[in-house]
Structure 1
């Protein structure tokens, strides 16, 4: 796999803020909170925050 530079702290904050804005938009926009919606939000959080945590750990070394 090709080498990737870790995310910068600014990129981490922007990606997190955009994900949070999307989640709040879905929750307060009238979407029903049923099983598939909650599962989708949980899985999207994993997809978004796994690279952020990985980059953060790589920068701390």
Structure 2
């Protein structure tokens, strides 16, 4: 008598290519969004950052 193995289940989620898209695309979106937030907070755009700075006090002419 030879040992029998159960048949492969073709509905396992990791064997379906569309499930890899369902799992990986949101994961990549979250990782990419997190990287954008981290990189933006570490090195903000100088032009946008400069608009938030207060203007220096005006220099008055002497004797004015």
Please tell me the TM-score bracket, short chain as reference.
0.3 to 0.5
Structure having the higher Rg: 2
Q: TM-score, normalised by structure 2?
A: 0.41
Identify, as 1 or 2, the structure richer in helix. 1
Report 1 or 2 for greater relative contact order, CA contacts < 8 Å, sequence distance ≥ 6.
Answer: 1
